[in-house]
Chains A and B, each alone.
Chain A
Amino acid sequence: MKLIKVEHAYKIYKNGTTAVADLSVSIDKGEFVFVIGSTGSGKSTFIKMLYREEKPTSGIVNVGGIDVAKLRNSKVYKLRRRLGVVFQDFKLLPKLTVYENVAFALETLGLTNNEIRPKVLKAIDAVGLKEKARNLPSELSGGEQQRVAIARAIVNEPRLLICDEPTGNLDPETSKEIMTILDRINKESETTIIMATHDKELVNKMKKRVLVIENGVLVSDTKKGSYKVHESVKDSKKKYS
């Protein structure tokens, strides 16, 4: 079953930059997909359209049955409740503990404390931070902070987890830990994961589906792909153009 369906999507920013051009792709429920490409190629823009941070200028972006282009500003929250987002810079609230940071997501949705507690503990456990639940973000390592962010993203049990360079600020060892966690979330709860990254090693090791974007164009889409494919495609594209 298709969870994400993108057809001929374009994103042209107000300043005239074409960040995504004629992009079509569909992603099944439960897939793990890497989005790679050099800097400024349009990875983040593509991802932002999936959670309606940006609206496509034209084309169709359908996420879980919701037509993102037609979604009104006041209804964006309906889409956001069905997915989780993780960023390079964690975006944690510095004055709240690990537990409170994760609980914050559910509090704003109006759940009772009794509903919140088991969900939060489960999410914190899933990222292996049970012992640090009462710590502040400033008392955690970068990898641990990113795990808190992941816990917050999955606490509402979304069908889709979107990650924009989640390992961008982390050393290779810590990045591996994060990937292990994401892989487990993907396998255990069939959560679809889309992850933009620069990290060749990670992509090559994971053997997942790889989308390659260059200059806003989807130039390659391979099952169990790697960064190498991306290099060859880039070359062929150069010859082609």
Chain B
Amino acid sequence: MRALRILRRSIRDSFKSIFRNFSLSMASIICITITLILVALSMFLSYNVNQITTSLEQELTIVVYLDKDVTSENKKEIENDLKTMENVEEYKIKSKDEWKAEMGKENETLEHALKYFEENPLLDSIIVKVKNVNDLKETAEKLRKYDFVQSAEYGEGMVESIISVFDVISIGTFGIVIALIVVTFFLISNTIKLTIFSRKTQIEIKRLVGASNAAIKIPFVFEGFILGIFGSIIPILLSIYGYTILYNETGGYIYTKIITLVKPFPFVLVVSLVLLVIGSFVGMIGSWLSVRKHLKI
């Protein structure tokens, strides 16, 4: 009970101090706000990008076109090899007739054009799904070595570059966020330092009348905590409303069906929680460091 009363009085003191040092508190709060908005943006971005990359990766296939005069022995040979290749997830034979039927369905002109050929001009093929994108190139090279393989194609370059651009973006935002967190620490420590100085007599009297060290330190740590909470309000509102609106406006897709947004709920709630935790922890740790440095007790 006694500890609870000390806690309650500490919270009261923290609020008083925040309003007394208003401009400095505002600076800290704004800094936390900016940091957390960026954290939120990078979380939305990286989570969605992860989603995109996994769906891209799932799509990753090599199309192996076989020569016109391929024999059924040849087909058996390559099928046997495919079964033992490590990077091959699964494969499917797609004959030239299947191709013809599919193309005809998609495009009428093509259907007409294909009718003019006596013999099907398309090639038999095998569609190979790989396990690992990074070994995609290697696997394709292997398949090209067969005499009866005309070509083995995949979205060369395109896929890798999309993934690496996303990587660069998320590493970049991560770097900016870390830098901002450091700046925020610094600002909060300074805010707390000044409130410590402005309450010097108060601290001195507290020590004289026998307040325990914890009772003296708690108001300052609380102050940092409250600054962190205040700083996370706007980012949380922006996340919840901003993302939900974006999702509803776009119908969950950006540009094409390739980029699918993650459903807002419970995703935004998780993001909000993370923001709140980061904000309050940065606030508390920042002030704790300051208290340790400037209150030599």
**Contact residues in A for B213 (Cβ distance below 8 Å):** 73-74, 77
Choose the segment among A23-31, A35-43, A106-114, A181-189 that binds chain B (4+ C-beta atoms closer than 8 Å): A106-114
Query: Please, how many angstroms separate the alpha-carbon atoms of A157 and B268 in the complex?
Result: 56
Asked if A108 and B208 make an inter-chain contact with CB atoms under 8 angstroms apart, the answer reads no
Nearest chain B residue, comparing its CB with the CB of A86: B208
Residues of chain A with a CB closer than 8 A to B208's CB: 51, 80, 85, 91
Cα distance A156–B209 in the bound complex, in angstroms = 9
In the complex, A8 Cα to B210 Cα: how many Å? Answer: 27
> Contacts of B297 on A, CB cut-off 8 Å?
73-74
Known pairs A77-B212, A80-B210, A109-B210; A93 contacts B205 (CB<8 A) = yes
Chain B: CB-nearest residue to A79: B210
Q: Roughly how many angstroms separate A105 CA and B207 CA in the complex, as a whole number?
A: 10
Q: Which residues of B contact A81 (CB under 8 A)?
A: 209-210
Whether A91 pairs with B215 at a CB distance below 8 angstroms is no
Chain B hits for A109, CB < 8 A: 2, 209-211
Q: Tell whether, in the assembled complex, residue A93 and residue B202 are in contact, meaning their CB atoms are under 8 Å apart.
A: yes
State which residues 69-94 of A face B: CB under 8 Å: 73-74, 76-82, 84-85, 91, 93
Task: State A84–B210 Cα separation when bound (angstroms).
Answer: 9
Tell me, yes or no, whether B56 is within 8 Å of chain A by CB: no
- Shortest Cβ gap from B202 to chain A (Å): 6
How many whole Å from A144's CB to the nearest CB in chain B? Answer: 18
Among B2, B202, B204, B210, point to the contact of A77 (Cβ < 8 A). B210
Q: Does more than half of chain B's interface fall in helix, strand or loop, or is it mixed? A: helix
Chain A residues contacting B206 (CB-CB under 8 Å) are 108
CB closest residue in chain A, given B211: A108
Cβ–Cβ contact A108 & B215, under 8 A: yes
Q: How many residues on the B side are at the interface (Cβ–Cβ under 8 A)?
A: 20
List B contacts of A84 (CB < 8 A): 209
Q: How large is the interface on A (under 10, 10 to 19, 20 to 34, 35 or more residues)?
A: 20 to 34
Contacts of A105 in B (CB 8 A): 205, 209
Task: List A contacts of B137 (CB < 8 A).
Answer: none
Q: Whole-angstrom distance between the alpha carbons of A12 and B75 in the complex?
A: 96
A152 within 8 A of partner (CB): yes
Within 8 A of A (CB), among B151-183: none
Residues of A99-119 at the interface with B, using a CB-CB cut-off of 8 Å, are: 104-105, 107-112
Q: Closest approach, in angstroms, between the C-beta of A49 and any C-beta of chain B? A: 15
Measured between beta carbons, the chain A residues less than 8 angstroms from B2 are 109-111
Looking at the assembled complex, report how far the CB atom of B220 sits from the nearest CB atom of chain A, in whole angstroms.
14
Max chain A Cβ within 10 angstroms of own Cβ: one of B6, B201, B210: B210
In the complex, what distance in Å separates the CA atom of A74 from the CA atom of B207? 11
Interface contact B210-A78, CB-CB below 8 Å: yes
Across the A-B interface, the 10 shortest Cβ-Cβ residue pairs:
A81-B210, A80-B210, A110-B2, A105-B209, A108-B211, A110-B6, A77-B210, A77-B212, A110-B5, A108-B206
12 additional A-B residue pairs with CB within 8 Å, beyond A51-B208, A108-B209: A74-B212, A77-B207, A77-B210, A77-B212, A81-B209, A93-B201, A107-B9, A108-B9, A108-B206, A108-B210, A108-B211, A108-B216
Q: Taking beta carbons and an 8 Å cutoff, which residues of A are in contact with B?
A: 51, 73-74, 76-82, 84-85, 91, 93, 104-105, 107-112, 152, 156
A-binding residues in B (CB < 8 A): 2-3, 5-6, 9, 201-202, 204-213, 215-216, 297
Sample of 29 A–B contacts (CB below 8 Å)? A74-B297, A76-B207, A77-B210, A78-B210, A79-B210, A80-B209, A80-B210, A81-B209, A81-B210, A82-B210, A84-B209, A91-B204, A91-B208, A93-B201, A93-B202, A104-B209, A105-B205, A105-B209, A108-B206, A108-B210, A108-B211, A108-B215, A108-B216, A109-B209, A109-B211, A110-B2, A110-B3, A152-B209, A156-B209
